[in-house]
C-alpha cells in the first residue's frame, strides 16, 4: 500500500471518474426519454399506413401488387445466389456494455456463406468490426450516424434500399437492431424488411365501417404508401435501438458509479490505516525520544 499522498491522489482520481460516469448516466436518461417520446409520437401515423395497406389487400384480393411484395417465383429461385443487404444498427460510441457486441454477433450468426452479403451501417462502431470480415461488403458510401434518429434519415435509408431492391441489385433486405422488451431488458432482433410479406397485413381495423374510396385507385394509393411504411419500419428500429443504447449505457454507468463508490470506501479505509500507523509511529518516536533524554 502506498503512502497517504498516493492514496489521496487515487481517491481524487476515482472521485473525478465517478462524476463523469454519473453525468453520463443522467445524459443517457434524458436521451432515453426523448427517444421514447419521438417513437410514440410517430407510431400512430405509421400504424395508420399499415392498416390502410391491410384494408386494400383485403378488399381487393384479386389485386396483385408486385414491386416491394414477395412473390412465389422470387421466393423459390434457386438457380442463382441471393444478394442480401443487412441494415445493422449499432452505436457511435462505446461504454454501453454488451450492446454492440450482441448486435454484431446476431449479424454474424445470420450470414450465409453461399449468399452475397452487404452491410449498411448505422453507427460508427461497426466500421472497424465489419471491415475485417471477409464474408461481407460494407457500403462505405452509406454509413449513417446513430445519434438522434430522425424521419429524414429513415427516409434516406428507405429510398436507397428500395431503389436497390427494385433494380434487382439486392434480393432481400434484413435489419438487425435492438428491441426493448421492458425498461431493463433488451435483446438483438433481426427482421426482414424487403420483400414485404402479405401475412404482415392480414388484419385491419374498423371492419364495420363503410366502404372506403381510394383515389385515384387502390393501386396508386398502395404504390405511394408502401414506401412510407418501409420508412416507418426503419425509423421505428432506429428509435428503438437508440433507446436501448441509452438504457445499456445507463446500466453500464450506474455499475461504474457503484464500483467507484466501493473503491473509494476501500481506499478511505486504507488511508485511515496508513494515517493511524503514521500517528502511532510519531507517538512512539516522541515517547522514545523523551525516555532517552532522562
Burial code of 224-239, b = ≥16 C-beta within 10 A, e = fewer? ebbbebbbbbbbbbbb
Residue 14 in any domain: the answer is: no
Residue 206 in any domain: the answer is: yes
Residue 277 in any domain: the answer is: no
pLDDT of 72 reads 47
Q: Domain residues for 173? A: 23-252
Residue 116 in any domain: the answer is: yes
pLDDT of 200 reads 66
Identify the CATH number of the domain in which residue 132 sits: 3.40.1380.10
pLDDT of 32 reads 79
pLDDT of 208 reads 47
> From CA 157, how far away is CA 155, in angstroms rounded?
5
Per-residue pLDDT of the chain (294 residues; tens, 9 = 90+): 567 788 888 888 888 888 888 888 888 888 878 777 776 776 676 667 777 777 776 766 655 555 667 664 554 555 456 788 899 988 888 787 788 888 888 888 888 766 788 888 888 888 878 877 777 888 878 888 888 888 888 889 988 988 888 888 888 888 898 887 776 777 888 888 887 776 666 655 555 456 667 667 667 777 777 788 888 888 888 888 888 888 888 888 888 888 888 888 888 888 888 888 777 877 777 767 666 665
Residue 185 in any domain: the answer is: yes
Beta strands in 160-200 (DSSP E): 172-180, 186-194
pLDDT of 3 reads 77
Cβ-proximal residues to 9 (8 Å cutoff; 6+ apart), any chain: none
Residue 90 in any domain: the answer is: yes
pLDDT of 240 reads 83
> From CA 202, how far away is CA 54, in angstroms rounded?
6
Provide the sign of the torsion angle of the four alpha carbons 248, 253, 256, 262, taken in this order: negative
Residue 273 in any domain: the answer is: no
Its pTM surpasses 0.95:
no
| Count of structural domains, the chain | 1
Q: Are 86 and 117 in contact (CB under 8 A)?
A: yes
pLDDT of 225 reads 77
Amino acid at each position: 500500500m502506498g503512502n497517504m499522498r498516493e492514496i489521496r491522489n487515487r481517491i481524487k482520481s476515482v472521485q473525478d471518474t465517478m462524476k463523469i460516469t454519473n453525468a453520463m448516466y443522467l445524459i443517457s436518461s434524458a436521451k432515453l426519454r426523448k427517444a421514447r417520446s419521438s417513437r410514440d409520437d410517430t407510431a400512430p401515423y405509421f400504424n395508420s399506413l399499415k392498416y390502410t395497406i391491410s384494408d386494400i389487400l383485403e378488399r381487393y384480393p384479386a389485386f396483385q401488387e408486385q414491386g416491394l411484395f414477395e412473390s412465389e417465383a422470387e421466393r423459390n429461385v434457386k438457380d442463382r445466389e441471393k444478394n442480401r443487404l443487412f441494415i445493422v444498427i449499432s452505436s457511435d460510441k462505446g461504454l454501453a456494455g454488451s450492446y454492440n457486441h450482441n448486435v454484431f454477433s446476431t449479424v454474424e450468426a445470420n450470414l450465409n456463406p453461399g449468399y452475397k452479403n452487404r452491410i449498411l451501417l448505422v453507427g460508427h462502431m461497426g466500421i472497424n468490426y465489419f471491415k475485417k470480415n471477409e464474408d461481407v461488403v460494407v457500403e462505405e458510401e452509406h454509413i449513417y450516424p446513430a445519434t438522434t434518429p430522425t424521419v429524414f434519415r429513415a427516409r434516406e435509408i428507405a429510398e436507397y434500399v428500395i431503389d436497390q431492391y427494385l433494380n434487382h441489385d439486392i434480393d432481400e433486405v434484413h435489419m438487425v437492431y435492438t428491441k426493448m422488451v421492458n425498461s431493463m431488458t433488451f435483446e438483438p432482433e433481426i427482421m426482414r424488411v424487403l420483400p414485404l410479406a402479405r401475412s404482415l397485413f392480414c388484419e385491419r381495423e374498423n371492419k364495420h365501417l363503410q366502404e372506403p374510396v381510394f383515389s385515384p385507385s387502390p393501386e396508386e394509393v398502395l404504390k405511394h404508401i408502401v414506401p412510407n411504411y418501409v420508412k416507418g419500419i426503419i425509423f421505428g428500429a432506429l428509435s428503438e435501438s437508440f433507446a436501448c443504447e441509452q438504457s445499456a449505457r445507463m446500466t453500464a454507468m450506474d455499475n461504474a458509479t457503484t464500483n467507484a463508490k466501493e473503491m473509494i470506501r476501500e481506499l478511505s479505509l486504507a488511508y485511515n490505516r496508513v494515517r493511524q500507523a503514521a500517528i502511532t509511529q510519531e507517538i512512539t518516536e516522541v515517547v522514545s525520544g523523551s525516555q532517552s533524554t532522562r
